[in-house]
Amino acid sequence: MIEVLDFYADWCGPCQMMKPVFAELEKDFAGKVKFTVIDVDQHPDQSNAHHVLGIPTYIIMKDGKEVDRIVGYTPKPAFQAKLNAHL
């Protein structure tokens, strides 16, 4: 199964811009992709473990291993293409 780890913070402008895109992607890929949201301020250990240096960062995991990473605001079509490449 594919999982997307969404590393964000409430104070991050690009993170807020991605919220509606992320919500649409969750609907579009329901049953195919698991989406997990991680607040970097509340979970710095997870951010460090995944070497997250900037936010928003989206890590695409397949079978528990990182297969792709997206950093920064990304339009929905580009994000969809990345996910489709790993399905």
Q: What is the pLDDT of residues 5-62, one digit of tens each?
A: 999 999 999 999 999 999 999 999 999 999 999 999 999 999 999 999 999 999 999 9
2-86: CATH topology is Glutaredoxin (3.40.30)
Q: Look at the alpha carbons of 50, 56, 61, 66 in this order and tell me if their dihedral is positive or negative.
A: negative
Mean pLDDT of 60-78: 96
82 is catalytic: no
21 is catalytic: no
Q: How many helices (H) and strands (E) does the chain have?
A: 3, 4
Q: Is 82 helix (H, G, I), strand (E, B) or coil?
A: helix
86 contacts 2 by C-beta, under 8 angstroms: yes
20 contacts 78 by C-beta, under 8 angstroms: no
User: Which residue in 12, 21, 35, 46 is the catalytic one?
Assistant: 12
Q: Does the structure show a pLDDT above 90 at 1?
A: no
pLDDT of the residue at 85: 96
User: Which residue in 2, 4, 5, 15 is the catalytic one?
Assistant: 15
Strands 57-62 and 33-39 turn out to be unpaired
Q: What is the pTM of this model?
A: 0.94
pLDDT of the residue at 37: 96
